[in-house]
Amino acid sequence: MMSAQNSVSRSRGVTLLELLVVLTLMAFIVAIVLPTLGGGVSSTALKSAAREVAAGLRYARGQAIAQRTEALLVLDVAARNFTLPPDTQLHQLPERLDLKLYTAQSDLVSDNVGAIRFFPDGGSTGGRITLGSGDRKYNVDVDWLTGRVTILDGSGA
């Protein structure tokens, strides 16, 4: 009779090994399914894109000062890329990125294309490029007086 009670008490619980196997399977499924459900850009890609835009703006400012001429960064919001004329290389940004450009009216080429201009003294027309995905966003600001480029976390967190 003792052996019957022992077998009943053993079948009531879950072993630690079974629990670990189930948790591992759940973690594996979540790791595969979540990226396919997310429609936006990863936090790392978003921050990287903001840094790339800021680097382009800083480069344009440096060129304006070094060559003692105006330099600009031309941003195509619809195609999600930018160039630094006279260089024709396109700097492509992530596809699912929400992109907005705030700049001087004189530097708007069309509804989707605009520029931020830098002057030989280091100043600029000023502006802001907002890169976002869902609730996360970064603002790349250009101060009109000094031409200083800063990246601000615009998520409000």
Look at residue 7 in the predicted model and tell me its pLDDT: 53
CA-based nearest residue to 107, from 144, 146, 138:
144
For each of the chain's 157 residues, which pLDDT tens digit applies?
Answer: 555 555 555 567 889 999 999 999 999 888 887 666 656 678 889 999 999 999 999 999 999 999 999 999 999 999 999 999 999 899 999 988 999 999 999 999 999 999 999 999 999 999 999 999 888 999 999 999 999 999 999 876 5
Look at residue 61 in the predicted model and tell me its pLDDT: 97
Look at residue 39 in the predicted model and tell me its pLDDT: 61
Look at residue 33 in the predicted model and tell me its pLDDT: 77
Question: Going by CATH, does the domain composed of 43-153 fall within 3.55.40.10?
Answer: yes
**Domain layout of the chain by residue ranges:** 2-37, 43-153
Look at residue 43 in the predicted model and tell me its pLDDT: 86
Look at residue 40 in the predicted model and tell me its pLDDT: 65
Task: Give the CA distances from residue 111 to residues 18, 77, 87, 100, 108, in Å, rounded to whole numbers and listed in that order.
Answer: 59, 9, 23, 11, 7
Cα–Cα dist 32/114, whole Å: 39
Helix, strand, coil percentages for the chain (3-state, nearest 5):
40, 30, 35
